[in-house]
Amino acid sequence: MIFTKAQDVISYLYSLPKFHAKGDLSFIRRVLEELDNPQDKVKMLHVTGTNGKGSTSYYLSNLLQKAGQKTGLFVSPYVFAFGERIQLNGQNISDPDLVATANQIEQVLQKIRQTDPDFGLVTFEYEAVMAFTYFAKTKCDYAVIEVGIGGTHDSTNVINPEVSVITTIGLDHEKIIGPTIQDIAREKSGIIKYQRPIVLGNVPQSVLPIIKEKAEQEQVPVYQLGQDFMVKSALQTSYRDASRTLTFAIRPEVEGYDLAVAIRAFSTLNLPLSDEKIEEAINHTVIPGRYQILQEQPLIILDGAHNIQAMQNLLNFVHEQQARRRGKVRVLITMMKDKDLAEVFSLFQASDQVELTTIAYPRAAKKADFPSAVQAKYPYYASWQTAFTQLKQDSQPNDILLVTGSFYLVGEVLQLEATNASSRH
């Protein structure tokens, strides 16, 4: 197969299976070997965690760029366009580069299929191979690699990073890497590599021994939030470790954890960068669809929170803002049907006006996919556009309108607002 258009590549990727029958890394390793192991030609930073890994990856990418390094970034999911998944110095991979990289991989797959006709990659493996190939081809100095799911068995776990990061550990993807939080911690600790430092964010005490044991086996230095470096969010966000104290614009507590972890991980690389430049890099980082404020009056917040831990953190932040503004909280939410739907809805307050919706995406929950108690409690709108527009019109200047549950819904709302803004001009 030869691709000629980026959209053909993207459609093909999403037609591939999501998982192999056996969950090992033999498939991706075989393809990378044929490509002369591009993942070994760039210095990598590896980031996992139940929440915060995307934000941490963006902060790290900006710090590296600020230090004058040619920087790759591999993240998921995307909010606006598929090209966000693979970035170079903050710019999405171009359509021609996407096509050229996919064609390079197709050549290798055809070669393998001459002796192994049934051989293939699943979607995320293919994307990871494209990222590694592109970063090597463009001669990146560093690349920040966000794990897809877990750690040990994730397709990205073929790299030997300069530093590994575990941002948080909570319940998500229990069917794949669970069922318990201990199982999840073991899986995530799989990114710890021999004598390569590990930076830990807000990791629960109950699973710290699992991480520490793995770190000891691999003889790695451990840098732990709250012990080796600190962050505080009061009137401003402040970071402190043994060698520096930094201050940033105020942000939600969990974003404070993410930026702190990113700064500590960056520090392990010993790249020269002044405190002032570090503050600049962090303050200028925009993370699409994460605590993204669309406007102030009413306060419209977009966040792709899609598991219990992320939703709890987000709603804590929203209700703190509500207490200051003394307005009403309105929420537009859809989720993927394979998520912990009932548990997430138990986190809303009785006074929150919650509306359910859906989007044109195969995994998105429709009305019947929501638990019956949720369906009985909250109205459902098949058109998210209608629901969002009405909620926005109903909101008073001191109210808060939250769009959440899925990065895909957040992306749709951002597109709608961008279209409306351009039509007004």
Contact 48, 165 (CB under 8 A): yes
Instruction: Show Cβ contacts of residue 196 under 8 Å, excluding neighbours closer than 6 positions.
Output: 160, 161, 162, 163, 164, 218, 220
Q: Where are the domains of the chain?
A: 6-283, 292-424
Instruction: Show Cβ contacts of residue 5 under 8 Å, excluding neighbours closer than 6 positions.
Output: 95, 99
pTM > 0.85: yes or no = yes
Contact 262, 229 (CB under 8 A): no
**CATH number for the 292-424 domain, one of 2.40.50.150, 3.90.470.20, 3.40.50.970, 3.90.190.20?**
3.90.190.20
Task: Work out the angle at residue 16's Cα, subtended by the Cα atoms of residues 147 and 409, and round it to the nearest 5 degrees.
Answer: 60
Contact 175, 187 (CB under 8 A): no
> Residue 138 burial (CB < 10 Å; 0-12/13-18/19+)?
middle
CATH number of 6-283: 3.40.1190.10
Per-residue pLDDT at 178: 52
Token output for 362: 């195969």
Distance of alpha carbon 386 from alpha carbon 355, whole angstroms: 11
Question: What is the CB neighbour count within 10 angstroms for residue 216?
Answer: 11
> Residue 424 burial (CB < 10 Å; 0-12/13-18/19+)?
exposed
Q: Would the CATH topology of 6-283 be identical to that of 292-424?
A: no
Mean pLDDT by 10 residues, the chain (425 residues): 94 90 88 97 95 93 98 90 95 97 96 94 96 98 93 90 93 61 88 95 91 94 95 85 89 88 96 95 89 89 88 91 91 88 89 94 90 93 95 95 93 87 72
Per-residue pLDDT at 270: 94
Per-residue pLDDT at 415: 87
